[in-house]
Amino acid sequence: MLDHTVKTPCIGVCSTGIGDSVCRGCKRFSHEVIDWNSYTPEQKRIVDRRLSGFLSQCVSNKLRVTDAALLKWQLQTQNVRFVAHHDEYCWLFSLLKAGAGQIEHPGDFGFEVDLPFREMPLTDLRELIDNEFLLLSQAHYDRYIAMPDLFSGNPE
């Protein structure tokens, strides 16, 4: 499992150039965007695991994959790009990014929408998930990266 190559998560919508500490597109931290090409494969895997874990958490809070094999088959049949080593909830988000507005029956794609969100259009649900993914990444950055060193003696 560790021998997979991690490609850049960049989706071409970088907001770190305008001062964001977390990219609105790929959800990496600004220093990760800047230093990505100098990272070792293991460093890239660490970032990839954090991002896919956060995304999976945000998706699974609102949707249930009921048939991962069907979901994977649909992704392949529809020629939707997805990261095979990520879990089925990340796959589901790839599907929603590619065509949330075209899905009428989620069960045909191997998933269902949790009851509180069933009346929401999938396009709106996709945006809600993406916004929560950004909030989770930002909270992680604020807590573990931007937090001042309490032991340096230099209050900020």
For position 5, what pLDDT does the model report?
Answer: 86
The rounded Cα 81 to chain-centroid distance in angstroms is: 14
pLDDT for residue 13: 87
Q: Is residue 32 part of a domain?
A: no
pLDDT-derived band at 1, boundaries 50, 70, 90: very low
Which pLDDT value is given to residue 39?
A: 97
- For 31, the token pair is 């220093």
Q: How many CB atoms lie within 10 A of CB 12?
A: 6
Question: Total structural domains in the chain?
Answer: 1
Please state, in angstroms and rounded to a whole number, the distance separating the CA atoms of residues 81 and 92: 11
- Is 28 a residue whose pLDDT tops 90? yes
Give the whole-angstrom CA distance, residue 48 versus residue 92: 17
Helix (H) or strand (E) holding 112: strand 111-113
In a domain, 88, yes or no: yes
Tell me the pTM.
Answer: 0.91
Side chain identity at residue 141, one-letter code? Y
The average pLDDT across 52-62 equals 98
Per cent of the chain over pLDDT 70 is 92
In a domain, 140, yes or no: yes
Q: Is residue 19 part of a domain?
A: no
Confidence at residue 152, expressed as pLDDT on a 0 to 100 scale: 65
Residue 62 belongs to domain spanning: 41-144
Mean pLDDT of 55-70: 98
Q: Has residue 10 been placed in a domain?
A: no
Please tell me the distance from the alpha carbon of residue 150 to that of residue 156, in angstroms, as a whole number: 9
pLDDT of residue 41: 96
**Distance (Å, rounded) from C-alpha 93 to C-alpha 103?**
13
* Residue 3 placed within a domain: no
Compute the mean pLDDT over every residue in the chain, rounded to the nearest whole number.
93
Residue, of 147 and 90, whose pLDDT is higher:
90
Q: Which tokens is 102 given?
A: 């075209």
The DSSP letter of residue 71 is H
**Residue 51, in any domain of the structure:** yes
Residues 6+ apart with CB under 8 A from 105: none
Which residue from 147, 146, 150 is spatially nearest to 29, judged by alpha carbons?
146
Q: Does the residue 28 lie in any domain?
A: no
